[in-house]
Structure 1
Amino acid sequence: MAKGGQASNNQAVARASMEDSSSPFYLHNGYHPGLNLVSHALTGTNYNTWNRAMSMALTAKNKLGFVDGSFSQPPTDDLVYGSLLRCNSMVISWILNSVNREIADSLLYFPTAYEIWIDLQDRFQQINDPRIFQIKKLLNGLQQGSMDVSTYYTCMRTLWDELKEFQPVSVCKSGAIKDWINYHNQECSMQFLMGLNESYEQNQAQILMMDPLPIISKIFSLVMQEERQRSCEARGRRGRGVIAGAMRWHGK
């Protein structure tokens, strides 16, 4: 009876673990092997952004521990071991759905999501210095050109945010974080203003006269307002031109 009671209690604990939404072994009804967690599949060259997107998605689903090795695997005779196998297979399926076909084919025979994660890291994680060089080169050549302001800003911020991931902040001295953030904002703001088309020269001058220099999101908002105003004025001119043309045609 004691053994039976102990087994029953263990089963109850295991069942509670699987039904607890805070447990890593919990699988929501909406989770299925065909689920795609990221919008852009891993091709190899986009590993850093893919890794970040996948990490956030797995964290949201409380499954990051299956790929980062943060929790230990229970023994095979543990009652939650079956749940671990199911969750591991689910995470493997999610990873395979998030990489291109050629990469997926090379991952099929790894037994754990953790081993897949490490293999992808070993294969595609770039050494910092070459990637930093590449990002800075792209930033130096980035110009608005034919892009609208929003697209140009998005391209620039994507590069800046990735660059920031490679540049850890020193917190040894008081105020170091604040100084670094202010410096980063100034660099980002200057890059954005320098890349704008010449038609925004007046706006550039007005913004640079502000003290202190606004944060990059505020600068973007100011330039966007100017772009929208120009667009409205252009539509108004076209509308007046159409009306004037119609009046001339009727006058004839």
Structure 2
Amino acid sequence: MAKNANNQANRAISEDTSSLYFLQSGDHPGLMLISTPLSGNNYNIWSRAMHMALTAKNKFGFVDGTIVQPKPDDLLYNAWVRCNSMAVSWILQAIVRDIAESLMYMSTAHEIWTDLKDRFHESNAPKIFQIKKLLSSLQQGSLDESSYYTKLRTLWDELRDFQPVSACRCGSAKEWTDYCSQECSP
């Protein structure tokens, strides 16, 4: 009787669309969440795209470790294992085969995410220097206005992504943010 109650509780959790354990009918392990796979040198853009896709699926907590694995006797254990496995599958689908094969024996999405970040995340200083160099040398040349603006905006957005976020509550952070926004506008 207790096993039947556990199954009903798991089903109720899994069918609640606001639940972190909810999977849509179209969710399956072979689903491609993003169009460009991680090849190593594109980690920063790839991780941002995956972050957005997994957040849209309400599964980023399995990746960043905020949804902690319950104990095996917990009612949520099976739902957690199912969703973690789905997140692992989605990540592996978004990585080139050689890299994906090196991750096959890791059991959680969090382990995989951390390993990829440790291996491929570029440190800020060289990347910031590279972006600033590209910004300073960017010229419209034969590009139409839309293409030029897109390249410029992409570089500014990427540079902004590397900027540290201030925890200031005094109000001067808004002034700095406004100044940075003004500097980044074409």
**Partners of 1:139 and 1:100 in 2: CA distance:** 30
**Partners of 1:176 and 1:63 in 2: CA distance:** 31
Contact persistence 1:169–1:180 (CA under 8 A): no
**Partners of 1:94 and 1:148 in 2: CA distance:** 37
Residue number among 45, 49, 58 corresponding to 1:49 in the alignment:
45
Quote the residue 2:117 is aligned against.
Answer: 121
Higher helix share goes to which structure? 1
> How high is the sequence identity, in percent, across the aligned residues?
58
Letter in 2 for 1:98: A
**Gap runs ≥5 in structure 2:** none
Greater relative contact order (Cα < 8 A, sep 6+): 2
Quote the residue 1:58 is aligned against.
Answer: 54
Contact persistence 1:47–1:125 (CA under 8 A): yes
Quote the residue 2:103 is aligned against.
Answer: 107
Quote the residue 2:171 is aligned against.
Answer: 174
Contact persistence 2:62–2:68 (CA under 8 A): no
Residue number among 79, 82, 86 corresponding to 1:83 in the alignment:
79
Counterpart mapping for 1:12-51 below 5 A: 12-51=8-47
1:169 CA displacement: 4.4
Counterpart mapping for 1:167-206 below 5 A: 167-170=163-166, 171-177=168-174, 179-189=175-185, 192=186
Whether 2:89 is the aligned partner of 1:93: answer yes
TM norm structure 2: 0.90
Contact persistence 2:10–2:76 (CA under 8 A): yes
Contact persistence 1:88–1:113 (CA under 8 A): yes
Whether 2:112 is the aligned partner of 1:134: answer no
Quote the residue 1:154 is aligned against.
Answer: 150
**Partners of 2:9 and 2:105 in 1: CA distance:** 32
1:20 CA displacement: 0.9
TM norm structure 1: 0.68
Higher radius of gyration, 1 or 2:
1
1:58 CA displacement: 0.7
Number of aligned positions between the proteins: 185
- Three-state SS of the structure 2 residue aligned to 1:66 is helix
